[in-house]
Amino acid sequence: MVDRIDKLDRKILNIITKNARIASKDVAAVCGVSRAAIHQRIQRLIEMKVITGSGYTVNPKRLGYNTC
């Protein structure tokens, strides 16, 4: 069975690409589905390697480090 990306997946990806820290309940409200559905979709997208990571970027200059 081939996993496919549907309209809801694309909508979720569009939202979390703009704000990776958005709460799943807020994504659910925008998409008109349950928070559990968003969680399941995101987990599936991670397993499919559509979503490959999330994290924070630290600005070394704000910590007093100079880079070349």
Confidence band of 32 (pLDDT split at 50, 70, 90): very high
Distance, in Å, from the CA atom of 33 to the CA atom of 50, rounded to the nearest integer, reads 21
pLDDT at 1: 43
Does residue 1 sit within a domain? no
- pLDDT tens-digit series, residues 34-60: 999 999 999 999 999 999 988 888 888
**68, part of any domain:** no
Q: Which residue has the higher pLDDT, 61 or 15?
A: 15
Question: How many domains would you assign to the chain?
Answer: 1
Chain position carrying tokens 């600005």 = 59
Q: What is the pTM of this model?
A: 0.79
How would residue 2 be classed by pLDDT, with cut points 50, 70 and 90?
low
Which two structure tokens, joined as six digits, stand for 61? 């200059």
How much is the average pLDDT of 28-37? 98
Domain that includes residue 19, residue range: 7-63
Ranges of H-type helices in the chain: 7-18, 24-31, 35-47
